[in-house]
Amino acid sequence: MIPVHAAGEHDGLLYIAMRYVEGPDLRRLLDDRGALAPPTAALVVAQVASALQAAHARGLVHRDVKPGNILLTDLSDAPHVYLTDFGIARPEAATAGLTSVGEWVGTPDFAAPEQVEGRQPGSAADIYSLGCVLFAALTGRPPFERDGQLAKAWAHVHDDPQPLRAVRDDVPPPFEEVVRRALAAPGAPVRLRA
């Protein structure tokens, strides 16, 4: 996770002072260079899984795991990764959210079905989103390509993703199993090891 050095208010404005990370986020890297090599994608996702494991151990659910919230320190085959933007994170046991009834937060390309349906997301929602990130890292696109936000949200709840190897056939079969398990039954307690 990105280290936060200080937070507060100055002249009526809230601020956060955190580590400066030289390098792009994963979204920009995918836009600029396309899909990652499988070993690099595995390294990136394993580091994010480690950050999520630490957050979940403290009872926090990130709720917006996506390539734009994953910062890379360099562009080598072994980048160091930071998960950032815990702005909408909530305690897993929280009953009240940051939104009104019928609203949800997150990014439609990477939102877990329980978020779309307005249910309280648990740690499994972050794992689902991380599975979507792995799919995107390996293919250069999210698992559900649809026109419009509503169609994307609908797909997460009602559609099966296209098999990973149907999009990129040179990905080793174990990657497809990891993505399949992460995107399986909404809310199923699937754990990924870092």
Q: Helix 123-139 crosses helix 38-57 at what angle (to 10 degrees)?
A: 170
What span, in angstroms and rounded, lies between the C-alpha atoms of 159 and 52? 26
Total Cβ atoms within 10 A of residue 117: 15
Catalytic residue selected from 64, 77, 109, 169: 64
Confirm whether 64 is a catalytic residue: yes
Task: Write down the H helix ranges in the chain.
Answer: 26-33, 38-57, 113-116, 123-139, 149-158, 164-167, 173-182
| Residues composing the chain | 194
57: buried, middle or exposed (CB in 10 Å: 19+, 13-18, 0-12)? exposed
Cβ(50)–Cβ(194) under 8 Å? yes
What span, in angstroms and rounded, lies between the C-alpha atoms of 144 and 56? 26
**67: closest CA among 114, 129, 155, 2?**
129
Q: Which amino acids are annotated catalytic?
A: 64
